Structure 1
Amino acid sequence: MDNRRKFNKSDDSSDVPMYSRLFIVTEKQTTEQQFIDAFKKFGQIEDVHIPRDHNSGERKGFVYIKFSKASEAAAALEEMNFQTIPNTNRPLKVMVAANRSDIQTANDDDEKFKRIFITVPKMMAESKIKEDFSKFGNVQSVLIQKDRDTGMPRGFAYVKFNSFLEAAQAVEGCDTSYRAIFALPKVHKRNRYESSFESNMSTLANTSANFHSSLVSAITAHPEGYTRINFMCPPYLTHYNVESLFDIVPGMIDCKYFVDYMRDCGKGTVTYSNPMSAAHAVQKLNRFEYPPGVKIFVRRDNSQFEAHEQSFKNIPNVVKDLKQAISSNANSSAPDLAQLAEAIAEASKLIKMATSGTPEMDIPDSNDLSYCSVKLPPQKPLADIDSPLAKRCFLVCKPQPPPMTVLRDIFCRFGDLINVYTLPNKTVGYARYASAEAADEAIKTLHGAEICGIRMKVLEADDEAPPKRSRYN
């Protein structure tokens, strides 16, 4: 499987094209090579990911397979769902995975997988559209959108097919003037950050009565004095998933989340505006299952109390040191300002800890390699900024780039790094190397890796265009 593909514009997404990734439930013993052998006949496999249990290291019994085309994934789903692959006994359960948090069978939502959106000339007839798209399969309907006031066509239409495979082939094979894409469900156009996460939480808040009950319970819960809680969850949940879950309890004001790859789990802290909400979150959400069968563990954050206890123990010594520094400097013709500043800083630190507790959990720094999912070589010095460019790597990082300090730390480990940067307000960037060997090693190691919970694409970029000559030269 060759991950070193030349970059092209279609790579500007975490899953390009849409619906080209499958989620497959299988036996825990099934290997990556067995999946490749069974599914390679459907097309180009770009990635196979088998999650493992963070304690035992054994496979979890499901796998993600990413194809280069949605039609390849659709063909694999149609033929392999409920089938067994060689040397296994359990039939596969094959589903579409739009991303790690949106997993559905192709029959769950007819609109989502069988309906496409196209742009058309305003005077094009419905019969012409049906004729052009019938070569890809059975066209069930063509709906040309019209203006409600004038009744005139608006320049776009929806085409619905009989199957996911037919729709995918139409998106890929129709004339480019149609600009075909998969359509959002017409009943409920969801925000692009929404997922099936909300429906899996229906036991907590799918009706106003349940929410009202939760609110009453939060108000009457016995407060235990803490407002911050810690949690641990599956590593493939996103920050949005986690924040949506804890926001069910009224009073959430902050949610911190990162993925610990050393322990293969997600971790974080949630802060509430009052102790009653925090206690209610622990009571209701500890051991809550999402996804079904996988538990989220929630407990109170004791660091606040430990900080308060320690700070109060240190008060007499800090006060004594501060008084001594003030007294000695007041009676001195040459005051020791450094001593006084140190005493004031220590007192300020104590007051902050006594009133607010310890600093909140941060994303691991560059000294903690748990932020990267692959093994990295030791750090190497940067190349001279004026070194001639040998090769560039193109970076795609969705939904946002990792911190720049992290990117620099990771990409410099392959040697001869001139610089690494991301484009303003974009999710793409470049790493520039003074040697082609270093760039090739970075692509080989980091393509498909996860950095700070963000799945990276590292591809060979086109040659850098020479700077344009000024007309004033």
Structure 2
Amino acid sequence: MNSRRKHNEDTTEDSPAYSRLFLVCDRRYKEDDFKEAFSKFGTIEDIRIPRDYNTGEPRGVAYIKFSKTSEAAAALEEMNKKCLRPSDRPLKVMVAANRSDIQTDRNEHDSDRFNRLFITVPKSVQEDDISEAFSRFGHIESIVIQKDRNTGEPRGFAYVKFRKFSEAAVAFEEAPREYRAIFAMPKQDITPVRTAFESNINDLATTSTERSTLISLMNTRSGGFTQVSFMCCPRLTQMHIECLFDIVPGMVGCQFLLDLARNCGKGYVSYSNPISAAYAVQKLNEFEYPPGLKIFVKPFNSKFDHHEQNYKRIPSVAQNLKQAVQAAANSATPDLAQLAEAIAEASKLIKMATAGISEDHDSNDLNYCSVQLPAPQPLADIDSEVAKRCFLVCKPQPPPLTVLRDIFCRFGDLINVYTLPNKTVGYARYASVSAADEAIKTLHGAEVCGVRIKVIEAEEENSAKRRRFD
């Protein structure tokens, strides 16, 4: 069995199909226990009991490989939820399709995966002919002969569904070779499942009541706003933003900035008409892009229009400053007046541009947080005694640390807030119980940068350490 085991561990797919079982079991079971209980169903080629890498103890699962699919099917149907001595814990027996795909609970009841066969048939065959050939293997629940959608003619293959896995397994092994029977893929695997993000993108691209109606309205209406402002995940680039907003017809321009202070992306998008701009706000505000993180879109603040020209001047002013610095560095007698003038012009432009952004996104208007928050408060001393900790759960991923610090400091007495590396959890440490309680009350269930967070009271550090030690 050892040589056979080595061969099986070097392969990914099991042969024949569905001949390997996956068991959830008591950790006390040994290989001989499984051999004694399962050998009555057929030839066992391999029994493997995985062990913990660190302790060497059994992990409470096992694999049993049979020589035939029908043997594995009979063992599954007979031994699932049965107990082996000396344990009173029932076995949980499932099919392991192959080494890279351990089946989950849903597949235990997924009759299509294990009960349905795919067969090739002559185009002249009738349902009765198939029933006559396969009914000797067990109870047939359905026979579906595939036909061409346009002509209605048979396509040369069919599906036969049995009541039990063991019946389908025997048919798989003993059906006449001309049928070339194999297990059919589950119905839900034939058509790719669209994620919510893919569905939303498709809706954006196709549902504008209809797009032709929207385009016709663009040429007949006037007034309103033609620009929208947005705030988004800082990992996005201008290319991402342009691709998203260009789904709405009529986009003519896009400006994207990375706000390092608030660790987010922001900017504005221009459309050729007010209908497109209004539609972009309606469809794209709070749209998850990337999935799990929302983008916030609203009509463009008219106060910002005065600063649009400032953004267009940034490249030329930056070039002038670069040339002035290089000239001063390469000259023995640099023209300090020219350098000072270039620096002053750049500083003035940056100040004006920043003012434009702050007018559009007021620092007290936290549109990346779904709840109302008080004004920021200074952090407590880093060496302060921790009065209470908050436990954070942020899925699918934590918001930027600068954002977490900004929202948690608003309740006062925050010592620090952090997330665990490569985890979706973290802690906020407060120097006062009242501040921690107010943070839990306000922030639990809130959305921050499109991520819904849970904020609950954390266990005391000493008790947690003691429990781990015990």
Looking at CA atoms only, which structure, 1 or 2, has the larger radius of gyration?
A: 2
Q: Same fold (TM over 0.5)?
A: no
When you count helix as a share of all residues, which structure comes out higher?
2
The answer to which structure, 1 or 2, has the higher relative contact order (CA under 8 A, 6+ apart) is 1
Short-chain TM bin: 0.3 to 0.5
> TM-score, normalization: structure 2?
0.41
Per the normalisation by structure 1, the TM-score is 0.41
